[in-house]
């Protein structure tokens, strides 16, 4: 089914890449994507999507073009409906004087059916971004309050500097992990990535070299399997995991072997990730610096993203695949 995705604006590349776990992106503009998806319900797992629409058509972002689109569609409905329009920054040409309200009025006038602005059974929405106007019927919006409810500060065990739930969910999605898959986080910390994986029906396995973190993860994610282990010597057989998602240590304040440097830790961990990952599967690793040169020696790089956390920290996200 062809869908329109109304995306959050928190990152320029991650929302589009995340859609890849449920479908194939066909077209994209600022904060909007069109994708072919076999199961629209699967989009509920996305963290950086705000709304999902059934694709009905697209045109130039002008009133004449939109009027022609609606005329060609000739939509009739027995159910009540409302028309909405959203203008993404940059959605109009510089000299286009049309307002969102003009698009909304046109929807109400040209769809044959009862209009209800207060409690419509259906909502038809035009999203205007850059040089396109995408038009569709809203299937659902994605509830974001659940992520807020899982804020790390509300967990039984807390440690400063942990990843927020929406980013953890996005990383799991970038790994294309499915329900029933086995996923490893070899630096599980407080268990944030494990929690998001478990909520998707993924069998989450976490390990850490720090006993305090393993005990803390057990409090936060009691359904996950946890082990005290060195990420450079993961105690499992070759090709055990369908996905690996981890946030690598950033500095010497973390618990690692005294003989390790960060360079050695990264290199040996990537070697182990390759060993325990199944062929054709993905690993998503996050660092504070560019380790693409090291990672590329072990796995094929299929995606690169950045997320600025604050002035002194930018997360660098690598999506890797074992051929």
For tokens 């993860």, name the residue: 217
Give every residue of the chain whose pLDDT is below 50, as ranges.
91-95, 252-253
The reply to whether CATH 3.30.2130.30 applies to domain 2-141 is yes
What pLDDT does residue 262 have? 85
**Considering only CA atoms, which of 121, 86, 81 is closest in space to residue 103?**
86
Q: What pLDDT, on a 0 to 100 scale, did the predictor assign at position 260? A: 64
Among 233, 220, 232, 238, CA closest to 279: 238
Residues paired with 2 in a beta bridge: 36
Backbone angles phi, psi at 301, to 5 degrees: -85, 120
Residue 143: per-residue pLDDT: 86
Would you state the pLDDT for residue 11?
95
Identify the pLDDT of residue 58: 98
At the topology level, CATH places domain 148-321 in Rossmann fold (3.40.50)
- Which tokens hold the place of 194? 């494990």
pLDDT at 311 (0 to 100): 80
For the chain, helix (H) and strand (E) counts, in that order, are 9, 14
Q: Which pLDDT value is given to residue 253?
A: 46
The domain segmentation of the chain, as residue ranges, is 2-141, 148-321
Closest CA to 138 of 149, 127, 150: 127
Nearby residues of 120 by Cβ (< 8 Å), 6 or more positions away: 79, 80, 81, 82
CB atoms within 10 A of CB 61: 25
- How far is Cα 74 from Cα 76, in angstroms, rounded to an integer? 7
């Amino acid at each position: 089914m062809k869908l329109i995705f109304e995306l959050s604006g928190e990152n320029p590349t991650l929302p589009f890449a995340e859609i890849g776990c449920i479908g194939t992106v066909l077209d994209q503009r600022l904060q909007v994507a069109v994708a072919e998806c076999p199961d629209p319900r699967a989009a509920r797992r996305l963290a950086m999507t705000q709304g999902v629409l059934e694709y009905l058509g697209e045109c130039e972002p002008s009133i004449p073009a939109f009027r022609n689109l609606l005329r060609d569609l000739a939509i009739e409905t027995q159910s009540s409906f409302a028309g909405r329009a959203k203008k993404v920054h940059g959605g109009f040409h510089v000299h286009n004087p049309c307002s969102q309200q003009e698009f909304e009025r046109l929807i109400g006038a040209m769809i044959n059916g009862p209009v209800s602005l207060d409690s419509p059974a259906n909502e038809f929405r035009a999203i205007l971004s850059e040089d396109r106007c995408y038009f569709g019927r809203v299937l659902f919006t994605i509830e974001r309050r659940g992520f807020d409810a899982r804020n790390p500060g509300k967990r039984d065990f807390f440690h400063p500097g942990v990843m927020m739930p929406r980013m953890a969910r996005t990383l799991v999605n970038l790994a294309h992990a499915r329900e029933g898959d086995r996923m490893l986080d070899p630096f599980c910390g407080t268990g944030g990535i494990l929690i998001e994986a478990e909520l998707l029906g993924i069998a989450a396995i976490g390990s850490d070299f720090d006993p305090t973190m393993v005990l803390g993860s057990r409090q936060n994610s009691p359904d996950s399997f946890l082990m005290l282990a060195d990420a450079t010597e993961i105690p499992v057989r070759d090709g055990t995991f369908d996905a690996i998602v981890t946030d690598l240590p950033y500095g010497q304040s973390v618990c690692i072997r005294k003989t390790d440097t960060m360079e050695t830790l990264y290199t040996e961990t990537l070697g182990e990730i390759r060993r325990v990952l199944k062929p054709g599967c993905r690993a998503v690793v996050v660092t504070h610096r560019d380790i693409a040169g090291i990672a590329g020696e072990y796995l094929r790089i299929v995606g690169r993203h950045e997320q600025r956390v604050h002035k002194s920290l930018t997360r660098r996200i690598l999506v890797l695949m074992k051929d």
